[in-house]
Structure 1
Amino acid sequence: MTDRDATAGLLVDYGGVLTGSVGRSFRAYERAHDIPKGTILELLLAAYRDDVGGDDLVASIELGRIPDEEFDRLLAARLADAGYAVPPRGIVERLFDGMRPAGRVWDVVAQAKEQGVATGLLSNSWGTTTYPRERLADVFDVLVISGEVGLRKPDPAIYRLALDQLGVEPEACAFVDDLDRNVDVARSLGMFGVLHRDDVTTAAALAGFLGVPLEL
């Protein structure tokens, strides 16, 4: 729970909302290793089309069941099976090298926090060493990272955990994510879901729901 009696909350995804495009970052890695565009996302993000909790590679790293080094080895093996040889070390780090903090949603979160809104990060992690912890701590009251709590979106349990840590009711909380499936679950729990497509639209939607001025 936060250290103040907030009545409204804001939960925000990390990759693709507070950073550059996940797809572009992956594509940079693919170009560097002569891998066809979209191959890695097709191999890994296909897990999102399956039921939550499956014993797949994405679930294993997002739930913190395997360390980065094991993920690197297993992904390298999958790529090798598909005909693409890559060094089996440092893959996670290189995949996300282009996914640096970017955009103005950082400013939106900071402004919301300054105006008494409880703020939280709710992120599915592919390794937990890629987050800019100090910068996140400046704008978020709580950090709920899948690999650290053993739950992942779109499991409703991780949303409830984040709400509990914020100390707000779902009807008083906004949730921002760039994946439809994750936003749909938030809405089903009673939250105000925002599918992030651009900073201006997201800021306007949040300002309207939270009832506070948010400027870009």
Structure 2
Amino acid sequence: MSATSKALLLDYGGVLTGPVQDSFAAFERRLGIPVGRSFEVLVAASRTTGGGLIGALERGEIAVDEFDGALVALLRQDGYDVEAGRLLDGLFQALEPAGALWDVARQARAAGVTTGLLSNSWGADTYPRAALDEHFDTLVISGEVGLRKPDPAIYHLACERIGRAPEQCVFVDDLPRNVEVAREIGMSAVLHDGDDGATVAAVSRSLGIRLEVP
């Protein structure tokens, strides 16, 4: 299979940015919340069919203001005196575009590989749209399509948008379950653990092209 018949799909948070948990930790330190606690509270409130609060936000079923209100209530129930406001902005304030995968997308695209973003969104304003448009042929963002990873339907939608079968796609994500589902539907999938060199090498092998770590 030639490189030009393949596609590269990348996640956003934790792949094209620094670790998401680092941004959460910075938010918690500013508010005097123990590091990791806000995420624990959110996850606990989302252990229901459909992913609860997180799932609803990622599918675009609730607005950011509604999510913020729910998060304020959860943190207050947990004993933290937080003010109402744009808490979601605070959670992602330290999440900036970073890492070698931006350049990998550029290199792959220059080699004729179709590139796409496949991301679970926590509000549309968290994305650098101009930069994404420069690096990707297609953007599949959960809140805009009403689906979220790891639902297989969003992977198939991404394949449809880029005009490739799952077997022609290489997918990179930082969450094991998202990678598992990609493999289950036939994609080559790489778990990004923060080691740019290892991820670039794996993507290079899967695409069959030479990619350089910048």
Q: Normalised by the shorter chain, which TM-score bucket?
A: over 0.9
Which whole-Å deviations, capped at 9, do the CAs of 1:109-164 have from their partners, x for residues lacking one? 11001111111100001111110000000000000000000000000000000000
1:59 corresponds in structure 2 to 55
1:203 corresponds in structure 2 to 200
| Contact preservation (8 Å) 2:46, 2:53 | no
1:191 maps to 2:187:
yes
Aligned pairs for 1:62-81 (under 5 A) are: 62-81=58-77
Q: Do the aligned partners of residues 11 and 49 (structure 1) sit closer, same or farther apart at CA in structure 2, a change above 3 Å counting?
A: farther
Structure 1 residue 19: Cα displacement:
0.3
User: TM-score of the superposition, structure 2-length normalised?
Assistant: 0.94
- Which of 39, 42, 61 pairs up with 1:41? 39
Looking at secondary structure, tell me which structure has more helix per residue: 2
**Equivalent residue letter for 2:40:** E
Which whole-Å deviations, capped at 9, do the CAs of 1:49-93 have from their partners, x for residues lacking one? 655x24x11011101011111111110000000011212211111
Q: Do the aligned partners of residues 8 and 46 (structure 1) sit closer, same or farther apart at CA in structure 2, a change above 3 Å counting?
A: farther
Q: CA RMSD in A?
A: 1.3
Unmatched runs of 5 consecutive residues or more in structure 1: 1-5
Give the ranges of 4+ consecutive aligned residues of structure 1 lying more than 4 Å apart after TM superposition. Answer: 46-51
For residues 19 and 83 of structure 1, the distance between their equivalents in structure 2, rounded to whole angstroms, comes to 31
Q: Do the aligned partners of residues 191 and 111 (structure 1) sit closer, same or farther apart at CA in structure 2, a change above 3 Å counting?
A: same
For residues 69 and 176 of structure 1, the distance between their equivalents in structure 2, rounded to whole angstroms, comes to 30
**Equivalent residue letter for 1:14:** Y
**Equivalent residue letter for 2:28:** E
Structure 1 residue 46: Cα displacement:
4.4
Q: Do the aligned partners of residues 178 and 47 (structure 1) sit closer, same or farther apart at CA in structure 2, a change above 3 Å counting?
A: farther
Unmatched runs of 5 consecutive residues or more in structure 2: none
2:23 corresponds in structure 1 to 25
- Alignment partner of 2:40: what SS? helix
